[in-house]
Chain A
Amino acid sequence: MRIGVYVCHCGGNISETVDVKAVAAAAEQRPGVVLARDYSHMCSDLGQKLILEDIKEHNLDRVVVAACSPHFQGATFMNVLETGSLSPYVFEMANIREQCAWPHFGEPETATLKSIELTNMAIAKAGLDESLNKKTMPIGKRVLVIGGGIAGIQASLDLADSGFEVHLVEKDPSIGGKMAQLSRTFPTEDCSACILSPKMADVPANPNIELLTYSEIESVEGYLGNFEVTVVRRSTYVDPDLCTACGLCEDACPVKVPSEFEVGLRDRKAIYVPFDFAVPYKYLIDESVCLRLTKGGEVCGLCQKACPKDAIDFSRKSEKIRFTVDTIVVATGYDIFDATEKKVYGYGEYKNVITALEMERMIVNGAAGTPIRPIKGRIGFIQCVGSRDEQVGNEYCSRVCCMYATKLSQLLKRSDPTREVYVFYTDLRAFGKGFEEYYKRAQTDGVKFVRGRVAELLEDPVTKSVTVKVEDTLSRQMIEAEFDLVILSVGLKPNAGTERIAEILKLTKSPDGFLQEAHPKFRPVDTLKEGIFLAGAVQGPKDIPDAVASASAAAARAVRLMNQGEFSLDPVLAYVHEDICDGCSLCVDSCLPGAISISSNVAQINETLCTGCGICIAACPLDAMDLHCYANDQLLAEVEAAISERRDGETRIIVFADDTTTYRLADNVGTGKLSYAPETRIIRVPSGTRATPALMLKALALGIDGVFVGESESKSSPYAGIGPALSRNIEQTRSILREHGIEPERVRAKEFVTIMLGGFVAQLNELTAFAENAGPVSEKKKKALKETLANGLPRAEAQVAQ
């Protein structure tokens, strides 16, 4: 083993507090170290060259840099190793800037001692580093897009235009989604159908898109690069290749039912085209109402007789279509809130209370010269129907209602200025580009905005006009006024299709019921399932530009994975000591992403699914599981090195800091020059659950006085649902400590977010103070604990931990 150690001055940032020469001198004494140097700026060009030359000249096979946080310059040095033909994973960093020089800047001696030990820890770990390389997996260029609304269309077109093979699956007979139903779009007042229909037409015209309408996802199995999809394509009973959409069948059909597209305001026939710019523009038969298909035999059949192309075939069956894709974009959209749930507004009972979507259709039909009914008199809009209302279980704001009401109200006012139009709002949110200007225009055009949530509506049984009861909260006066028409600005909610897809793809939902993104700030279109992305309102209420932007983002994220023909996996992956594993399958149950299976009595890791959290290691009663880059022996070597320079009577606390949050939080604490107990030694782990009960107990048996585990608060954790496993680990460790008469409070855990600087400092100081008061664990108890560990933790305990 030939380790090179480099201690950085960081231009004084480190060397003004830490005696860097002493750190290098101490490092040189450690086993395996062939040289140790200090240098002013290790990350500079010259510093990097220094390492490169040493690798060549001294045949280094491991490199340790004692400098800043690995989150700061780690990647730089890993690249240096690659340039020097070493694996980037035979590299360790000792974070002596954020963890020594900065938090302990007033105490050079303490900071130097801590730096020496941190460097020793890094050397110890490096000695056990494996020469790993990033794993690459082949990946194809096939994408499944679920949902053919504007988000699904945008994602499909972006992907297809980038040369990827798209399967677009839409449950309705036409693509277009909700946008197709709208009159105009805010704030530009573009005709919605006019701007959408060319995009819809682009879909079947694109040779890279296979469009499957009237189709639903039945199942999806597999993982990134290998999703096996089964789609059920419902029968339309019309041969699309023969149908010319002449319409003779529709004229002949005797069955009339409310049109879904016209939200029931108009009728359609049992054989129909969904709307006049539907894609595909082909007739289909609604089997739930068709006389022939419901009654059987030779009933009716008028359409078949009328069809000049003989395109209608009542025996056509639905079909199952199977294909494999590499990535998936979910764009299943939203539904509008069911206004009948808000009983005080009498929707469905009162003749003159309608939803905004109905008003959209009334405006479109009116503009086309076929009004559904006259719109006259005093009109009122009620905002936040089904949004920001815990009475109906929706806490969230639907984000679009303020602006669509602003749009509809001024379209109504402008087309007939004698109409009096009122908008009753709770807060008016005009946050987007051009929105405030558009809102002012509505006000200037004479739409009256009244701040107050309408308490109830009452219908006059004779005139059918509606009395609105509301407080004008600006003038603190009650209003009771008669309106000829009241429009409910209904909110957006997750739809039934999303529920189903979430179940099939095993995606998590946020508390509002929409699908959860991997990170609210930095991974807003990713899901926690690798290779599955979210586009549009399936992730949360969105207006059209936001839905389109998120769809393009989802497409770009999918391209990022597929474009190279292979994708690389971090080698931080679980592995199995096959000679030890007895196939008990406790690990299988513990694994959150479902990456482990048992085959011929040995656990197998699916490396594509494994997230490298380490949860399975604690679950294994035989110590057969381990994790690359954070192996059991490596972490234990770090623990041993953490007391390498300990002087008599000194306390040592090990902090297992999860890499996502706690480690970065410690960096933030250092950057903020906040001091905390210098007795703490931070060990970086992928997640808090990597600190197994066995590891924590071994640390205490070795003479560590306290163990602290830091984990990401669940919302910001990349490993969803890890909390319970962490608690179980802590509980199991504490119960074994109790059995040995050791204070269980020596082991603690806490969930953090990266800004909880004060909380972090307080937690570490508290534990250190507790350990100091309690004094060291007696030799006798340590010996007993060692014996227990040597026999292995009882399997029963491990099962309890499940």
Chain B
Amino acid sequence: MTKIMMITKEGEAFLARIQEISGEAITACDQCGTCSGSCPMASEMDITPSEMIRKTQMGQQDVLSTKAMWLCAACFACTVRCPRGIDLSKIAEALRQISLRQAVDHIDIAGIPAPERARLPQIALVGAMRKFTS
């Protein structure tokens, strides 16, 4: 991972977009870490919830390729504890929405051998194409 963080117009627009979708003032986050400390899934995440917010604040779009937002179970522990009153679950949802709208296929259906493909239920194929989880 590079140690250089670029500040770009695209990154600033990305932040504005996430703020717009979530309706949350992401720049108001103080990086205190209460959310990470409260999150029951933090130990399983590749980046912590507060890191997810920091990357978003700084317009770092690589946040979309991290797994944290997909592990968020929307339990709202972070939201009820945030000293700045920020609803992190809405931000995670906004990141998931952006990610989903990029319409990335996570599996190559054509690459699955036909006999196996025939045995897979339709719903599993659709779900697997859209999400990492569920």
Residues of chain A having any CB pair with chain B under 8 Å: 378, 420, 422, 440, 443-451, 472, 474-482
Contact = CB atoms under 8 A, between A and B. Distances in A.
Contacts of A445: 27
Interface string B1-18: 001111100001000000
B67 interface: no
A448 B3 contact: no
A481 B27 contact: no
25 contacts: A378-B7, A422-B7, A440-B84, A443-B25, A443-B27, A443-B84, A444-B25, A444-B27, A445-B27, A448-B57, A448-B58, A449-B27, A474-B31, A474-B54, A475-B55, A475-B58, A476-B3, A477-B3, A477-B5, A478-B4, A478-B5, A480-B6, A481-B6, A481-B7, A482-B7
Contacts of A449: 27
Closest 3 CB pairs of A and B: A481-B7, A477-B5, A443-B28
A445 B27 CA distance: 8
Interface string B23-45: 00101111100000000000000
B28 A440 contact: yes
Given A481-B6, A481-B7, A475 B27 contact: no
A642 to B, nearest CB: 60
Contacts of B93: none
Given A444-B28, A477-B5, 19 more contacts: A378-B7, A420-B12, A440-B84, A443-B25, A444-B25, A444-B27, A446-B25, A448-B57, A475-B51, A475-B54, A476-B3, A478-B3, A478-B4, A479-B4, A479-B6, A479-B7, A480-B4, A480-B6, A481-B7
Nearest to A479: B5
A531 to B, nearest CB: 47
B62 to A, nearest CB: 11
A60 B12 CA distance: 87
Contacts of B28: 440, 443-444
A478 B29 CA distance: 20
B27 A451 contact: no
Looking at chain A's contact residues, is the secondary structure mostly helix, strand, loop, or mixed? strand
Q: Which of A449, A474, A480 has the most CB of B within 10 A?
A: A474
Given A444-B25, A447-B27, A451-B31, A477 B4 contact: yes
A18 B7 CA distance: 77
A481 B7 CA distance: 5
A451 B12 CA distance: 18
A476 B4 CA distance: 9
Contacts of A475: 5, 51, 54-55, 58
Interface in B43-69: 51, 54-55, 57-58
Given A444-B27, A448-B27, A472 B58 contact: yes
A510 B36 CA distance: 44
Q: Which of B3, B4, B5, B12 has the most CB of A within 10 A?
A: B5
A475 B57 CA distance: 11
A478 B55 CA distance: 13
B3 A446 contact: no
A122 to B, nearest CB: 58
Contacts of A480: 4, 6
Contacts of B51: 475
A422 B31 CA distance: 16
A450 B7 CA distance: 12
A480 B7 CA distance: 7
Contacts of A472: 5, 54, 58
Nearest to A439: B30
Contacts of B7: 378, 422, 479, 481-482
A395 to B, nearest CB: 26
A113 to B, nearest CB: 60
Nearest to B84: A440
Nearest to A482: B7
Contacts of B5: 472, 475, 477-479
A451 B58 CA distance: 12
Contacts of A446: 19, 25, 27
Interface string B76-103: 0000000010000000000000000000
B131 to A, nearest CB: 27
A749 to B, nearest CB: 49
Contacts of A479: 4-7
B11 to A, nearest CB: 10
Nearest to B2: A477
Contacts of A482: 7
B51 to A, nearest CB: 7
Nearest to B54: A475
Contacts of B25: 443-444, 446
